[in-house]
Amino acid sequence: MSIFQSLIKKEILHLLRDFRTIIVVLVIPVVLLLLFGFAISTEVNNVRVAAVVEQHTNETRHILEQFRTNTYFTFKGIIPFDEIENILRKGDADAVVIFRSELGELKHQIIVDASNTNMAQTSTAYLESVISSATGIPVVTNTLYNPQLKSAYNFVPGIMGMIFILICAMMTSVSIVSEKETGTMNLLLVSPVRPWTIILGKLIPYFLLSCIILTLMLILSYTVLGIPFSFSVINVIWITILYVILALALGLFISTIASTQVSALLVSGVMFMIPVVLLSGMIFPVENMPLVLQWFSCIIPARWYISAMRVLMIQQLPIKYVLTEVVVLSVMTMIVLVLAIKKFNAKK
Amino acid sequence: MMDKEIVISVKGLTKKFGNFTAVDHISLEVHRGEIFGFLGANGAGKTTAMRMLCGLSFPTSGSGMVSGYDIISQAEEIKCHIGYMSQKFSLYENLTVWENLNLFATIYGMNSKTIKEKTDVAFKTLGMENVQNVLVKEIPLGWKQKLAFTAATLHSPDVVFLDEPTGGVDPSTRRKFWEMIYRASSEGMTVFVTTHYLDEAEYCNRVSIMVDGHIKALDSPARLKQQYHAKTMDEVFRIVAKDAKRSD
Amino acid sequence: MNANTLKILLKKEVSLIRRNPIIPRLIIAMPILVMLIIPLVTTLDVKNVGVAVVDNDHTELSRRMITDMNASEYLSVTGCYLSYDEAFLQIEIGKADAIVTIPKNYLRDLTNGKRPELDLKANGVNATKGILGTQYATMSIAHTISQWQAEQGINLPMAKSNAMNFYNPTLDFRNYMIPALMVVLLILICGFLPALNLVSEKETGTIEAMNVTPVGRFEFVLSKLIPYWIVGILVVTVGILIGWLVYGLVPEGKILNIYLATILFSLVMSGLGVFIANQSKTILQSIFMMFAFIVVFQLMSGLFTPIASMPQWAQYITYAIPPRYFIEIMRAVYLKGASLADLWIQYLSLTGFAAALCFVAASTYKKRA
């Protein structure tokens, strides 16, 4: 047991010596959570609008007043007709409304910068509703689970899915391969220490680091971001631990197939990070993807983890709703662990 | 020997890393054409001292001249007149033998005609004509070291610094390597070599023995043996270094 | 500056890049992967929002609402349920995203001139889907009602959609993403690769062999950067070609403006990469520093989410994020045909960043410790 302890101690010391990296590793999740929680949002809440008015009437004045006061708009002023193209091309305004009187009736036209389609559609909808405020179908809209529609809620599971891959898979694989490169791995392998001990000695410090980060993220989520706290946190924790183990196994597996640090990095980056960000539904909904990619996303562990976290953390539903996810994650962990150990022993 | 021109002179050279004094006020002089052995156990401060002489590291205090240039303010001029080979094999593994030599020779400002002539001679003497276009990572370690030495001396520098050049090679390769050192010395190059193989110390004109950052002894091998009543340099070293606190 | 030295160093870098087992493949595979997959994935247009309907009215109008919603390309009705609880179960098991409840006597109240209220509940777990889903549902219902009212001869002044979509008339979100995706390519290739290259020279010790020669640090740093600028330009060219061949998207503005921005942005990223490498001892260190920058760059530059949607303080931060300007230029030149005169602020800012970072990169490269 003392060999084991000294291996872990060596690894922890090694980690701590690189203090700057530890700080970066701890700071990235916090920054991500805060950025997603407070800075990044896909909803359109500020439409910069300019107006072209042929003839002022009470009606146009009323509408312009609406543009000025409504928090969803920033009014960029009244511009001459031939300025429209210019202001849109420069990106100084998102939309221009032209008011024209025909036979005493006010007509309007909306010209919108549609380069961002999402923004264009929403802006048009907002503008239409202000201009024709007379008609409206009373629909009372409510949102379940996430009443303020804060994106942060949605992003927390995604960030967790990404961070643990980053720390466990990427860091472990690069660190094991670096030992291979410098030759210290051979030193350990020829020593009487059992391979199992070496692997665990390598993995446990990263496991501990992940636990620290998990604690940090949970505290932030439940306090600053205000996710309602409940007993489901216990499920969140143990499923995360399962995911961390899976990520560590992936890291170990990568380290057995990569021969240089850079290739370990690229393999874990290309094979795990990019798909996690793009295909896990973190920013972009999975349902919108082409079917082939949706199928492909099934083999990405993060997709299952993130979906389980959404149900548990945001919907606060009991564990029985995520059984599929848990089973898939467990099976994946088993397979990767077996493969990694087989490869590791074969190398020896 | 004494009236020969001085190529390296150092006074009170010191390097501290935080509280740790790696090199503690060393002073020495090396003459042109001399083979100067810089001995010491691992961690005695040899490499650190050498890095300061080569302009790779700033001294904390002290002064020195190499090849007529100040080691503090004129490091880049020094670099034009020295060659350096480190214990860590440092040619580009993914370049061929010829590409490596061409690269270093061009950096030292040689024109392509001279490079061609010089490398042709070098390849012939090394018996490496057939491996010119082989990637360096594919040739054996002994060859790599000879190649690194050639890369460091192709531009005929005033001084060539060798940091444990023979680490990890077999005795016969080591002998051949020392033949190369003698040849360079006979061509007028000054050789400054660190080693912890004490039999190699016998090959040097003069040696210094470094212990815990200090130079504890400095003279020709014969006179050192006489002074310490020892038969071999190995014995001399054991007597000088018996109080060493730092070692691995 | 010694031209001969620079030439031989460049030759060395090119040989090393060519012989690297991964990098040449990466240079080819990356633009293809990024340009083919990301546009398919990164659309915020929400389709197939599942709607569970609780119809308490059971009239012709309510049935028409349901059929119309189901016919919309954005919505799909998962079913009609007798009680709210049943519909809610559909949300819990993830089948539906929104519940529309049509109250009893809705049609009667509407004809009587009252303003009966429909109830719409959306699952807010996915905020984007929640917002857009309710919008689509509301629009669909409004449309049904106004149509029905028109048929009944009730003529209410109804806003006719009279909007012109400039620059991207087909409203294809991909057209918006593709120009900006070049930023992903350049960040990875011009930022990551030089940094990794320099740090691996540190780890293998070859940098020591270089530092002890009289090689100038400007030549050395330039020899690390120039190959990646060229690769950056190649990669953007591949990107433009894919945009044209696969998505039929050609720049409205001058290609030259795109390349100018590309060169400036490559300078920014490679300067940053070398700066980070200078500060790092190991590959791991440099990766994590680089990663921190890349995450912030990608999220704050307006690549995936609009800058205009950020709170004011966050918008101020984006002025310090170089890719922001590059993305603005790319989108404006590609879609709006903007000229240098329209975008001089962006070009100037990029130039400033490029100059500053290249200066920092060269001056933090130390031949001596």
pLDDT at residue A149 above 50?
no
3-state secondary structure (DSSP) of residue C105: coil
pLDDT at residue C186 above 80?
yes
In chain B the first and final C-alpha atoms are separated, in Å, by 36
pLDDT, average across residues B125-145? 87
**Distance in angstroms (rounded) separating the CA atoms of residues B150 and B143:** 10
Contacting chains of C (3 CB pairs or more, <8 Å) are: A, B
What is the domain count for chain A?
Answer: 2
**Distance in angstroms (rounded) separating the CA atoms of residues A93 and A87:** 6
Test A117 with C130 for CB contact under 8 angstroms.
no
Q: How close does chain C come to A189, measured CA to CA in Å?
A: 22
Q: What CATH number is associated with residue A109? A: 3.40.190.10
Task: Compare all CA atoms of chain A with the CA of C119 and give the residue at the minimum distance.
Answer: A140
Q: Which residue has the tokens 């247009």?
A: C45
**Distance in angstroms (rounded) separating the CA atoms of residues C134 and B230:** 95
Higher pLDDT, C164 or A211: A211
pLDDT at residue C14 above 80?
yes
For residue C153, CA distances in Å to A169, C115, C148, C149, C156 come to: 66, 18, 9, 6, 9
| Strand ranges inside chain C, DSSP E | 49-55, 75-81, 98-102, 118-123, 163-166
pLDDT at residue B63 above 80?
yes
pLDDT at residue C48 above 80?
no
Which residues are within 8 A (CB) of A232 and not within 5 positions of it... i.e. 6 or more apart?
A312, A313, A316, A317, A318, A319
pLDDT at residue C168 above 90?
no
Taking an 8 Å Cβ-Cβ cutoff, which residues of chain C contact chain B? Answer: 2, 4-5, 7-9, 11-12, 15-16, 19-20, 204-206, 208-215, 367-369
Task: Compare all CA atoms of chain C with the CA of A273 and give the residue at the minimum distance.
Answer: C291
**Distance in angstroms (rounded) separating the CA atoms of residues C125 and A148:** 10
Q: Poorest-confidence range of A97-106, B18-27, B230-239, C74-83?
A: A97-106
Domain housing B182: 34-47+79-240
State the span(s) of chain C assigned CATH 3.40.1710.10: 49-151
For residue A341, CA distances in Å to A255, B138, C314 come to: 11, 31, 46
Q: Are A305 and A243 in contact (CB under 8 A)?
A: yes
Test B108 with C214 for CB contact under 8 angstroms.
yes
**Distance in angstroms (rounded) separating the CA atoms of residues C336 and C167:** 6
**Distance in angstroms (rounded) separating the CA atoms of residues A307 and A303:** 6
Q: How close does chain A come to C291, measured CA to CA in Å?
A: 9
DSSP annotation of B96 reads B
Which residues are within 8 A (CB) of C1 and not within 5 positions of it... i.e. 6 or more apart?
C216, C218, C219
CB nearest to C124's CB, from A117, A149, A283: A149
Q: Are C189 and C239 in contact (CB under 8 A)?
A: no
Test B90 with C209 for CB contact under 8 angstroms.
yes
pLDDT for the residue A142 = 54
pLDDT, average across residues C145-166? 64
pLDDT at residue C159 above 50?
no
C-alpha C272, offset from chain centre: 21
The answer to whether residues A261 and A161 belong to one domain is yes
Which residues are within 8 A (CB) of A115 and not within 5 positions of it... i.e. 6 or more apart?
C167, C168, C175, C176, C331, C332, C335, C336
In chain A the first and final C-alpha atoms are separated, in Å, by 22
pLDDT at residue B188 above 50?
yes
Averaged pLDDT score across all residues of chain C: 83
pLDDT for the residue C161 = 47
Tokens of B39: 């001995």
Q: Are C324 and C302 in contact (CB under 8 A)?
A: yes
Enclosing H/E stretch for B191: strand B190-195
Q: What CATH number is associated with residue B207? A: 3.40.50.300
CB nearest to B92's CB, from C16, C211, C213: C16
Test A138 with C116 for CB contact under 8 angstroms.
yes
pLDDT for the residue A132 = 59
**Distance in angstroms (rounded) separating the CA atoms of residues C38 and C40:** 5
pLDDT for the residue C119 = 82
Tokens of C215: 């090689």
Q: Which residue has the tokens 């709703």?
A: A321
The answer to whether residues A176 and A160 belong to one domain is yes
Does residue A140 belong to any structural domain of this protein? no
User: What b/e string do you get for B227-241 counting C-beta neighbours within 10 Å, with b at 16 or more?
Assistant: ebebeebeebbebbb
What is the domain count for chain B?
Answer: 1
CA angle C31, C33, C39 (to 5 degrees): 95
Does residue A142 belong to any structural domain of this protein? no
Tokens of B84: 């350096």
Taking an 8 Å Cβ-Cβ cutoff, which residues of chain B contact chain C? Answer: 51, 54-58, 75-77, 79-80, 82, 84, 86, 88-95, 99, 102-104, 106-109, 135, 161
**Distance in angstroms (rounded) separating the CA atoms of residues C369 and C363:** 14
Length of chain C: 369
pLDDT at residue C187 above 60?
yes
pLDDT for the residue C46 = 64
Q: Are A251 and A176 in contact (CB under 8 A)?
A: yes
Q: Are A98 and A109 in contact (CB under 8 A)?
A: yes
Tokens of C41: 């994935």
* Secondary structure string (H, E, C) spanning chain A: CHHHHHHHHHHHHHHHHCHHHHHHHHHHHHHHHHHHHHHCCCCCCCEEEEEEECCCCHHHHHHHHHHHHCCCEEEEEECCHHHHHHHHHCCCCCEEEEEEEECCEEEEEEEEECCCHHHHHHHHHHHHHHHCCCCCCCEEEEEECCCCCCHHHHHHHHHHHHHHHHHHHHHHHHHHHHHHHHCHHHHHHHCCCCHHHHHHHHHHHHHHHHHHHHHHHHHHHHCCCCCCCCCHHHHHHHHHHHHHHHHHHHHHHHHHHCCCHHHHHHHHHHHHHHHHHHHCCCCCCHHHCCHHHHHHHCCCHHHHHHHHHHHHHHCCCCHHHHHHHHHHHHHHHHHHHHHHHHHHHHHC
SS3 content of chain C, % helix, strand, coil (to 5): 65, 10, 25
pLDDT for the residue A287 = 67
Q: Are C367 and C211 in contact (CB under 8 A)?
A: yes
Q: Are A257 and A343 in contact (CB under 8 A)?
A: yes
**Distance in angstroms (rounded) separating the CA atoms of residues A5 and A2:** 5
* pLDDT band for position C167 (cuts 50, 70, 90): low
Does residue A141 belong to any structural domain of this protein? no
Strand-strand pairing, A139-144 and C118-123 = parallel
User: Mind listing the pLDDT tens digit for each residue in C283-322?
Assistant: 888 888 888 888 888 888 888 777 877 888 888 999 999 9
Which residues are within 8 A (CB) of A105 and not within 5 positions of it... i.e. 6 or more apart?
none
Residues 287-316 in C contacting A (C-alpha not used; CB under 8 Å): 287-289, 291-292, 295-296, 299-300, 304-306, 308-311, 314
The answer to whether residues A245 and A169 belong to one domain is yes
Does residue A143 belong to any structural domain of this protein? no
pLDDT, average across residues B67-76? 89
Tokens of A190: 């020829």
pLDDT for the residue A1 = 56
pLDDT at residue A136 above 50?
no
pLDDT at residue C338 above 80?
yes
pLDDT for the residue B160 = 93
pLDDT at residue A184 above 50?
yes
Q: Which residue has the tokens 């009470």?
A: A58
The answer to whether residues A181 and A246 belong to one domain is yes
The answer to whether residues A237 and A310 belong to one domain is yes
**Distance in angstroms (rounded) separating the CA atoms of residues A97 and B121:** 82
C-alpha C16, offset from chain centre: 33
User: Mind listing the pLDDT tens digit for each residue in A57-90?
Assistant: 877 888 888 888 877 788 888 888 888 888 888 8
For residue A196, CA distances in Å to A191, A200, C309 come to: 13, 6, 51
Chain B residues in contact with C4 by the CB 8 A cut-off are 106, 109
Does residue A139 belong to any structural domain of this protein? no
CB nearest to C8's CB, from B90, B91, B103: B103
* pLDDT band for position B247 (cuts 50, 70, 90): low
Which residues are within 8 A (CB) of C243 and not within 5 positions of it... i.e. 6 or more apart?
C35, C178, C179, C249, C250
Task: Return the amino acid letter for C4.
Answer: N
Higher pLDDT, B197 or B80: B80
Strand-strand pairing, B61-66 and B69-70 = antiparallel
* Secondary structure string (H, E, C) spanning A14-45: HHHHCHHHHHHHHHHHHHHHHHHHHHCCCCCC
Chain A residues in contact with C128 by the CB 8 A cut-off are 42-43, 151, 154, 285
Radius of gyration, CA atoms only, chain B: 18
The answer to whether residues A36 and A52 belong to one domain is no
Domain housing A250: 2-40+149-347
The answer to whether residues A34 and A125 belong to one domain is no
Tokens of B147: 């190649």
- CATH assignment, C49-151: 3.40.1710.10
Q: Are A261 and A178 in contact (CB under 8 A)?
A: yes
The 10 Å Cβ neighbour count of residue C6 is 18
Strand-strand pairing, A95-102 and A105-113 = antiparallel
**Distance in angstroms (rounded) separating the CA atoms of residues C103 and C58:** 9
pLDDT at residue A266 above 80?
no
**Distance in angstroms (rounded) separating the CA atoms of residues A108 and A52:** 10
Q: Are C237 and C186 in contact (CB under 8 A)?
A: no
